[in-house]
A and B are shown apart, each in its own frame.
Chain A
């Protein structure tokens, strides 16, 4: 059965108990709970973080979407809002935070910088988008995205959560004890070393010599 049908069960409830009983699916209930209390990691990188704060503050008030509880510790956070330029010097810390977040976890790339390097892409200390390291769920364009755009992105994330099914999600499949989302932490060398790409880097560095 696909998700859409699962979420809208066609059961007839007898009229006399209609105001006492509601029938829904476990998925829907579970996702409703999760989507209405996405706790972001209190985590600002650059200019975009200021718009993130503005979205939390008086006029825009993200609390309306259950997203006002910023957690300073990754252990209690559901969503990492990468709000700003990711630099090579910072990326090991970001990955470490990500690895410490419990499943289910989401990553939102806010702004041009987090999505692809933005205006600073050509800089020598800039990672051209957090998706070089982390799986990104929602990209929000803008430099910085306005609070409205940020909220629109959050609603997209909620839609994504709505479509997940408890039967399929990786964090319940019980097949492996290991964290399937673990990302090896990059090393600061002469330049940023991604351990997953060591062999590739070595090969390219040797070719460079020959050329």
Chain B
């Protein structure tokens, strides 16, 4: 039975910093409240003295009724164990300022920019605090509680009848501009001067140092994306090149920013479940799992035993399928057009068949519920899963490896091309296979187990060199380990109910906060949910693996050749739905 783990405070920060740090006292909350002036000092001590070297999440909450803003940090140790939450509270008076932690934990870079963009929190000391998901010049900070979107209808769902007097009113009809638009009063479009991304290129400027060894070299800026066949969606990178060498890089994201957080805060808790499907759309099952365990933590409910096994089975199948596609797509990026990808898709279809059979949809499964799953796995589906797990997938994994792992061209292309080393990866909050390929055996399934992963016998896949070849091979290793877990799970799965709760549309969630994290195929996927006891979350934040992992992209690419950029980006295995949300 899973119950919410009791957060034990192993660190006595209050004693270390008397008068600066206070223990959190609000019911349902944990961790520490740090004085804003001493934040950097406390964070440095946490990293250097207490060993919390991996800062995974930074996000902000707007406590409008109390008239304050809060920035929440979640720190972990790469050696494992529970995390530590610390937060800063500031009055909600513009400019809201909080010191940036970028010099202590460089991994906060993009997350702080996101908090500035969406919440309007100015991180002092951040060298490049620009908007990230929206564009420069956009009006307002959308996640503030008093900001209303153009199609605003009501504060929270479920909305009143959409059919007053039997007639549908289009969202467009309620908007003065007849569209999803909102302009400041007296705005004149003809007089508007767009920003033309000057600030982006200004951020790259520092790389245009000229006149080295007496010779003037021209450095050119190349924009890749947002429409580029190899950027895995609508990712864009602005690169500065010196000849063929990359000397500067800025990721430009937000082209698929679909406002998950804002919509999620209007939705009820359960209504968010199908939205999580659309984050990392390769792995809707894992996304469901992360969200479900977060809300279960808040509600403090157990999960039905059989459902736990079903969840693990689905999440691991999802990982297998994700890594197969990763391999196929990587080979695509490297120029082995289509053939390996077609092999991968063949297996993926078989796994999707199972998802379709249990949930009714191939990709957007919406399968988990708080306390269990929505439908049972039929014996026929179980039979199919067993066939896949015991026969087909192991053979196909071997085949993939046999075809690729010793292929001379591939090995020559991948071996020794640096991706990232362990130290940099940890500094930049990289998680998932990329971190493990660099030699850090950090897998949340082991380091901070959730669901029932502590019952299975498996190894954390780890490789030592952190080059492209290891990043490629670790995916193969992980498929094998997933199959191992799957093999045990399908043998042990008990009969019984599939949900510990009664089916219900509206769940009761007590006030408090919860941070639920899982090892998704791409890294740490976490949700940070704050409830105030109402039917809708007060704060709903997704901490996606892809988004945080690209913080490191600049470090990975500087000094390498432009030809490697596409492959390096491929190594991170980003997916835009999750990256931009």
Task: Select from chain B the residue with minimum beta-carbon distance to A189.
Answer: B192
A59 touches B227 (CB 8 A): no
A122 touches B189 (CB 8 A): no
Question: What is the CA–CA distance of A155 and B228 in the complex, to the nearest angstrom?
Answer: 27
Closest Cβ of chain A to B76, distance in Å, is 30
A187 touches B257 (CB 8 A): no
Asked whether A192 is an interface residue with its Cβ less than 8 Å from the other chain, the reply is yes
B139 touches A128 (CB 8 A): no
Asked whether B194 is an interface residue with its Cβ less than 8 Å from the other chain, the reply is yes
Asked whether B259 is an interface residue with its Cβ less than 8 Å from the other chain, the reply is yes
Which residues of chain B have C-beta atoms less than 8 A from A16's C-beta? none
- Choose one: B149, B172, B227; the contact of A97 (CB below 8 Å): B227
Task: Select from chain B the residue with minimum beta-carbon distance to A128.
Answer: B180
Asked whether B214 is an interface residue with its Cβ less than 8 Å from the other chain, the reply is no
Asked whether A51 is an interface residue with its Cβ less than 8 Å from the other chain, the reply is yes
- Choose one: A50, A89, A144; the contact of B135 (CB below 8 Å): A89
Task: Select from chain B the residue with minimum beta-carbon distance to A188.
Answer: B135
Check A132/B188 contact, CB under 8 A, given A87-B256, A122-B151, A191-B138.
no
Task: Select from chain A the residue with minimum beta-carbon distance to B170.
Answer: A128
- Choose one: B186, B192, B257, B342; the contact of A193 (CB below 8 Å): B192
B134 touches A54 (CB 8 A): no
Segment from A24-32, A162-170, A174-182, A203-211 that makes contact with B: A203-211
Task: Select from chain B the residue with minimum beta-carbon distance to A74.
Answer: B227
Asked whether A138 is an interface residue with its Cβ less than 8 Å from the other chain, the reply is no
Which residues of chain B have C-beta atoms less than 8 A from A143's C-beta? 364
Asked whether B176 is an interface residue with its Cβ less than 8 Å from the other chain, the reply is yes
Task: Select from chain A the residue with minimum beta-carbon distance to B153.
Answer: A122
B194 touches A47 (CB 8 A): no
A90 touches B194 (CB 8 A): no
B227 touches A205 (CB 8 A): no
Asked whether B535 is an interface residue with its Cβ less than 8 Å from the other chain, the reply is no
A90 touches B177 (CB 8 A): no
Asked whether A57 is an interface residue with its Cβ less than 8 Å from the other chain, the reply is yes
Check A93/B255 contact, CB under 8 A, given A54-B349, A59-B346, A123-B262.
yes
Asked whether A43 is an interface residue with its Cβ less than 8 Å from the other chain, the reply is yes
Which residues of chain B have C-beta atoms less than 8 A from A124's C-beta? 142, 149-151, 180, 182, 259, 262
- Choose one: A46, A90, A202; the contact of B281 (CB below 8 Å): A46
Which residues of chain B have C-beta atoms less than 8 A from A189's C-beta? 137, 183, 187, 189, 192, 194
Which residues of chain B have C-beta atoms less than 8 A from A51's C-beta? 362-363
Asked whether B5 is an interface residue with its Cβ less than 8 Å from the other chain, the reply is no
Question: What is the CA–CA distance of A195 and B228 in the complex, to the nearest angstrom?
Answer: 26
Asked whether B306 is an interface residue with its Cβ less than 8 Å from the other chain, the reply is no
Which residues of chain A have C-beta atoms less than 8 A from B189's C-beta? 187, 189, 193, 195, 198, 201-202
B177 touches A122 (CB 8 A): no
Interface-central residue, A58, A144, A146, by most chain B CB under 10 Å: A58
A50 touches B183 (CB 8 A): no
Q: Which of A78-120 contact B (CB under 8 A)?
A: 84-85, 87-90, 93, 97, 117, 119-120
Asked whether B258 is an interface residue with its Cβ less than 8 Å from the other chain, the reply is yes
Which residues of chain A have C-beta atoms less than 8 A from B186's C-beta? 205-206, 209
Check A205/B184 contact, CB under 8 A, given A125-B259, A187-B192.
yes
Task: Select from chain B the residue with minimum beta-carbon distance to A143.
Answer: B364
- Choose one: B137, B151, B187, B256; the contact of A201 (CB below 8 Å): B187
Asked whether A121 is an interface residue with its Cβ less than 8 Å from the other chain, the reply is yes
- Choose one: A43, A90, A198, A207; the contact of B190 (CB below 8 Å): A198
Closest Cβ of chain B to A124, distance in Å, is 4
Q: Which of A22-62 contact B (CB under 8 A)?
A: 42-47, 49-51, 53-54, 57-59
Asked whether A126 is an interface residue with its Cβ less than 8 Å from the other chain, the reply is yes
Asked whether A190 is an interface residue with its Cβ less than 8 Å from the other chain, the reply is yes
A190 touches B346 (CB 8 A): no
Which residues of chain A have C-beta atoms less than 8 A from B256's C-beta? 45-46, 84-85, 87, 90
Which residues of chain A have C-beta atoms less than 8 A from B229's C-beta? 42, 72
Q: Which of B415-453 contact A (CB under 8 A)?
A: none
Task: Select from chain A the residue with minimum beta-carbon distance to B230.
Answer: A72
Asked whether B254 is an interface residue with its Cβ less than 8 Å from the other chain, the reply is yes
Question: What is the CA–CA distance of A89 and B172 in the complex, to the nearest angstrom?
Answer: 20
Question: What is the CA–CA distance of A209 and B263 in the complex, to the nearest angstrom?
Answer: 28
Asked whether B116 is an interface residue with its Cβ less than 8 Å from the other chain, the reply is no
A50 touches B363 (CB 8 A): yes
Asked whether B63 is an interface residue with its Cβ less than 8 Å from the other chain, the reply is no
Task: Select from chain A the residue with minimum beta-carbon distance to B253.
Answer: A89
Which residues of chain B have C-beta atoms less than 8 A from A150's C-beta? none
Asked whether A127 is an interface residue with its Cβ less than 8 Å from the other chain, the reply is yes
Task: Select from chain B the residue with minimum beta-carbon distance to A42.
Answer: B229
Which residues of chain B have C-beta atoms less than 8 A from A49's C-beta? 233
Closest Cβ of chain B to A122, distance in Å, is 5
Which residues of chain A have C-beta atoms less than 8 A from B254's C-beta? 87, 89, 125
Question: What is the CA–CA distance of A127 and B256 in the complex, to the nearest angstrom?
Answer: 11
Which residues of chain B have C-beta atoms less than 8 A from A207's C-beta? 176
A191 touches B364 (CB 8 A): no
Question: What is the CA–CA distance of A57 and B282 in the complex, to the nearest angstrom?
Answer: 15
Interface-central residue, B254, B257, B282, by most chain A CB under 10 Å: B257
Task: Select from chain B the residue with minimum beta-carbon distance to A132.
Answer: B179
- Choose one: B142, B185, B194, B342; the contact of A208 (CB below 8 Å): B185
Question: What is the CA–CA distance of A46 and B578 in the complex, to the nearest angstrom?
Answer: 10
Question: What is the CA–CA distance of A51 and B363 in the complex, to the nearest angstrom?
Answer: 8
Which residues of chain A have C-beta atoms less than 8 A from B275's C-beta? 119
Interface-central residue, B137, B179, B195, B275, by most chain A CB under 10 Å: B179
Asked whether B319 is an interface residue with its Cβ less than 8 Å from the other chain, the reply is no
A87 touches B255 (CB 8 A): yes
A122 touches B266 (CB 8 A): yes
Asked whether B77 is an interface residue with its Cβ less than 8 Å from the other chain, the reply is no
Mask of B348-380 contacts with A, CB within 8 angstroms, 1/0: 110010000000001110000000000000000
A119 touches B278 (CB 8 A): yes
**Which residues of B pack against A, CB within 8 Å?**
133-135, 137-139, 142, 149-151, 153, 171-172, 176-190, 192, 194-195, 226-229, 233-234, 254-259, 262-263, 266, 274-275, 278, 281-282, 341-343, 345-346, 348-349, 352, 362-364, 576-577
| Contacts A121-B171, A143-B364 supplied; 17 other A-B pairs, CB < 8 Å | A43-B227, A51-B362, A57-B346, A58-B346, A89-B134, A90-B234, A93-B234, A117-B180, A122-B171, A122-B263, A123-B263, A124-B180, A128-B171, A188-B137, A188-B138, A189-B189, A208-B176
7 closest A-B pairs by beta carbon, nearest first, are A123-B259, A57-B345, A190-B139, A47-B281, A209-B185, A124-B149, A72-B229
Q: Can you name 14 A-B pairs with beta carbons within 8 Å?
A: A45-B234, A47-B278, A47-B577, A58-B349, A85-B258, A87-B258, A90-B255, A122-B153, A124-B149, A125-B258, A188-B195, A189-B137, A204-B183, A205-B188
**Which residues of A pack against B, CB within 8 Å?**
42-47, 49-51, 53-54, 57-59, 72, 84-85, 87-90, 93, 97, 117, 119-128, 132, 143-144, 146, 187-193, 195, 198, 200-202, 204-209
